[in-house]
Amino acid sequence: MTVIKKVLVAGASGYLGRYAVNEFKGRGYFVRAMVRNPEKLKTAGPHGEPAVYDLIDEIVTGDVTSPESLNGVCKDIDIVFSALGLTSPHPQYTSYDVDYLGNKRILEQALAEKISRFIYVSVFNEDKMAEVLSIKAHELFVADLKKSGLSWAVIRPNGYFSDMGRFFSMAQSGHIFMVGEGKVKINPIHGADLAKVCVDAVDGESREIAVGGPDIYTFREVMELAFNACGKAPWITSLPLWLAEGGLMVTGLFNRNLADLLSFAVEALKFDHIAPAYGTRHLKEFFAELAAKKP
Ligand SMILES: NC(=O)c1ccc[n+]([C@@H]2O[C@H](COP(=O)([O-])OP(=O)(O)OC[C@H]3O[C@@H](n4cnc5c(N)ncnc54)[C@H](OP(=O)(O)O)[C@@H]3O)[C@@H](O)[C@H]2O)c1
């Protein structure tokens, strides 16, 4: 008799989380999704990530900043997959509250239920950005996970196509302000390709898996691709790094949480982000899909 494994997907309403739901379901798992707002799952996300409501076996509503909402979230679960994180500024909560404390609360639930494996999504090049608060929060959790005694996998992606989508939106407006010369390189990955790596990580030893996509671009090339997809001539203005850092300091005076998240973006523009290549989907096609969708 085949035993159906049960997975909890935390962050199931996010860009990666939805593709993970899709991938786990496609491989025959029973999927429990933890989300704040189940309604969100009924429609596609802003970067083409699928509506997954009808695929999910069980939806639980939970907010990691409210510990009591997580009680029992891992009951009868075999695998926990968390792509849960703070990716836009919140007036009250920081990366520490969500990425660290929030995921730690899920880990506590997982430990109480004796699950068999915990897969967590952190970031690539974390050692080069160790002082950035959002990276610190991810890595505090990774340290706790490694010490927990559970079998684990830590996925370290460099950048998602959804993140590159920001350049597409700016290109649509006709102009992009670029920090630096745009020579830094990255091989970003599509959520569907990354989800395959995440689900493959269910099996095998506890390990860290660095992940990038199939094509390497400079940031300037990404922006040019975005302009081409919109049918607009590239208009890119380069701002010196010191100006962006100064801007961050000023932002920090009136919005600390926004400055903390932006500091990741500025820090990340200082070196290449080329991770081992996975997947088959290309950024040019992703931008073409966004262009076809948007008026
Ligand atoms: N984007 C990138 O290029 C990139 C690169 C490397 C690593 N990462 C990491 O990968 C992870 C997933 O990224 P993503 O782009 O898929 O993020 P995303 O689309 O913003 O999704 C984040 C998920 O976390 C959930 N969440 C946030 N705060 C929560 C809370 N208090 N309680 C419960 N759920 C909460 C969100 O729920 P709602 O839908 O309700 O907001 C959403 O489901 C993040 O940890 C990110 O740091 C991202």
- CATH number where 207 lies: 3.40.50.720
Question: What range does the domain containing 20 cover?
Answer: 6-158+190-211
pLDDT for residue 295: 60
**Overall average pLDDT of the 226-236 stretch:** 95
Q: Is residue 236 part of a domain?
A: no
What's the alpha-carbon Rg for the chain, to the nearest Å? Answer: 19
Q: What distance, in Å, lies between the first and last C-alpha atoms of the chain?
A: 51
Atom 32 in ligand 1: residue holding the nearest Cα: 63
Q: Is residue 264 part of a domain?
A: no
**Overall average pLDDT of the 237-250 stretch:** 82
Q: Is residue 232 part of a domain?
A: no
Of ligand 1's listed atoms, the one at least distance from the Cα of 90 is 28
Cα 15 to middle of ligand 1, angstroms: 7
Q: In this model, does residue 253 exceed pLDDT 80? A: no
Domain count, the chain: 1
- Residue 159: CB within 6 Å of ligand 1? yes
Atom 45 in ligand 1: residue holding the nearest Cα: 85
79 SS3 class: strand
Helix (H) or strand (E) holding 178: strand 176-179
Residue with tokens 């069980």: 58
Name the average pLDDT for the chain.
94
Confidence of residue 28 (pLDDT cuts 50, 70, 90): very high
**Overall average pLDDT of the 171-186 stretch:** 92
Of ligand 1's listed atoms, the one at least distance from the Cα of 85 is 45
How many whole angstroms separate alpha carbon 154 and alpha carbon 168?
29
**Residues 6 or more apart in contact with residue 131 via CB below 8 angstroms:** 267
- CA distances for 5 relative to 8, 115, 121, angstroms: 10, 11, 20
Q: In this model, does residue 49 exceed pLDDT 80? A: yes
Q: In this model, does residue 263 exceed pLDDT 90? A: no
Cα 3 to middle of ligand 1, angstroms: 30
Q: Is residue 54 part of a domain?
A: yes
How many whole angstroms separate alpha carbon 240 and alpha carbon 243?
5
* 220 within 8 A of 236, measured Cβ to Cβ: yes
Q: Is residue 233 part of a domain?
A: no
What is the separation of C-alpha 256 from the centre of its chain, rounded to a whole number of angstroms?
A: 22
Confidence of residue 294 (pLDDT cuts 50, 70, 90): low
- Residue 148: CB within 6 Å of ligand 1? no
**Residues 6 or more apart in contact with residue 257 via CB below 8 angstroms:** 89, 90, 91, 93, 94
Q: Is residue 238 part of a domain?
A: no
Cα 233 to middle of ligand 1, angstroms: 33
How many whole angstroms separate alpha carbon 83 and alpha carbon 153?
12
How many whole angstroms separate alpha carbon 123 and alpha carbon 118?
16
pLDDT tens track for 181-219 = 899 999 999 999 999 999 999 999 999 999 999 999 999
pLDDT for residue 118: 98
Of ligand 1's listed atoms, the one at least distance from the Cα of 99 is 45
pLDDT for residue 261: 74
Atom 7 in ligand 1: residue holding the nearest Cα: 123
Cα 164 to middle of ligand 1, angstroms: 15
Q: Is residue 86 part of a domain?
A: yes
**Overall average pLDDT of the 244-270 stretch:** 80
Q: Is residue 207 part of a domain?
A: yes
Q: In this model, does residue 177 exceed pLDDT 90? A: no
Q: Which of 99, 100, 73 is nearest to 86 (CA)?
A: 99
Q: In this model, does residue 179 exceed pLDDT 80? A: yes
